[in-house]
Structure 1
Amino acid sequence: MSKINYIKGDLFSHKSSASAILAHACNCRGSWGAGVAAIFKRQFPSTYKLYVEHCKKYASNPSGLLGSTYLIKSESSDPGNSGRHNVAYVACMFTSDAFGRRKNGPDDIVENTDKSMSHLESQLAELSRTEPIEEQECAHVVNMPKINAGLFNVPWEETETVLKKHSVLINVYVI
């Protein structure tokens, strides 16, 4: 079972002596045009470029990304890494195929969040063998906003329930 900590503050100010994992819910269309995704794009432009390239590989079947997570190591030159000991990783959790009026329904988004978290956990287990990533209380730490609750319009309590099923420690940043 995951432990969720709520932290009042800015997700992008999170610092760790090891590489921090900053996660957000993404669409499968290669767009970080609004909401917290637009801030990720400004803070970690190197990861945005790789995210777009990754989505292009699935252009004929974007929904093939649903339920997966693309974990991207940012570059030290990204503005979001200013003041960090180690560069951050951005976890792009593919929870909705599209965005706006074409976004998936809440039940599908929650199911895809569950699958994306499982995929992220397996990647963190692998990554931690070779890279120093943030841990606390013998668990990997994932930092995120209230994913899905903004532009995907999913009640936070539904996403929170699914996140609690996983073995990582989650810091949820709220403003």
Structure 2
Amino acid sequence: MTQIIYLKGDATNPIAKGNKIIAHICNDAGGWGKGFVLAISRKWKQPEKEYRKWYRDKNNFKLGEVQLVPVLNYISVCNMIGQKGTKTGSKGAPIRYEAVESCLEKLAEIAKEQQASIHMPRIGCGLAGGKWELIEPIIRKTLTVKGVAVYIYDFD
């Protein structure tokens, strides 16, 4: 089983060799404008454009789905819908752990096909309101147990 590698730094500047996929959590409400997505948009415009088009077209745009957006020859961004809405309400925080698991299962298949490593912040633990102690085991169950290298970035 591959280990999760924790790093200080910026997940939009992944440091491994070979193909890399930057993964992050999106909401199912079509909103893009707070949190890690701002760092992505500062670097590349395509992930936001593709996410907004996906939302408008309603083409399989739902919790648990993923969208891969190539941004450089060896880097793609994976928009993962793992958040219900954008605000904490009567049903708790926006994070939906079962949707995150579904997204990461799909991402594992993509990563294996592309022989890519996965790079991400502590997904789901910012605005989505998730708890890392619940997210990390999902990452292990869906990615590292299948031999996919995962790099988690804590921004300085």
Same fold (TM over 0.5): yes
Match of 1:80 in 2: none
Query: CA contact under 8 A between 1:2 and 1:165: conserved in structure 2?
Result: no
Q: 2: distance between equivalents of 1:27 and 1:105?
A: 14
Instruction: Report the residue type matching 1:109 in the other structure.
Output: R
Query: CA contact under 8 A between 1:72 and 1:91: conserved in structure 2?
Result: yes
Instruction: Report the residue type matching 1:18 in the other structure.
Output: G
Query: CA contact under 8 A between 2:111 and 2:118: conserved in structure 1?
Result: no
Match of 2:135 in 1: 159
Say if 2:150 is the partner of 1:170. Answer: yes
The 5-angstrom pairing of residues 11-160 of structure 1 reads 11-58=11-58, 65-74=62-71, 76=72, 86-101=73-88, 105=92, 109-126=96-113, 128=114, 133-134=115-116, 141-160=117-136
- State the Cα deviation string for residues 55-83 of structure 1 (Å, max 9, x = none): 11228xx8x51111111112x5xxxxxxx
**Tell me, what secondary structure is at the counterpart of 1:91?**
strand
**Tell me, what secondary structure is at the counterpart of 1:93?**
strand
- Count residues in correspondence: 151
Name the TM-score, length of structure 2 as normaliser.
0.84
1:102, CA displacement in angstroms? 5.5
Compared CA separation, residues 9 and 104, structure 1 to 2 (3 A):
farther
Q: 1: distance between equivalents of 2:3 and 2:16?
A: 18
RMSD: 2.5
Instruction: Report the residue type matching 2:86 in the other structure.
Output: F
- State the Cα deviation string for residues 68-111 of structure 1 (Å, max 9, x = none): 1111112x5xxxxxxxxx34200111101311236964596111
Provide structure 1 residue ranges, at least 5 long, that are not aligned to the other structure: 77-85, 135-140
Name the TM-score, length of structure 1 as normaliser.
0.75
Percent identity between the aligned chains? 26
1:18, CA displacement in angstroms? 2.6
**Tell me, what secondary structure is at the counterpart of 2:150?**
strand
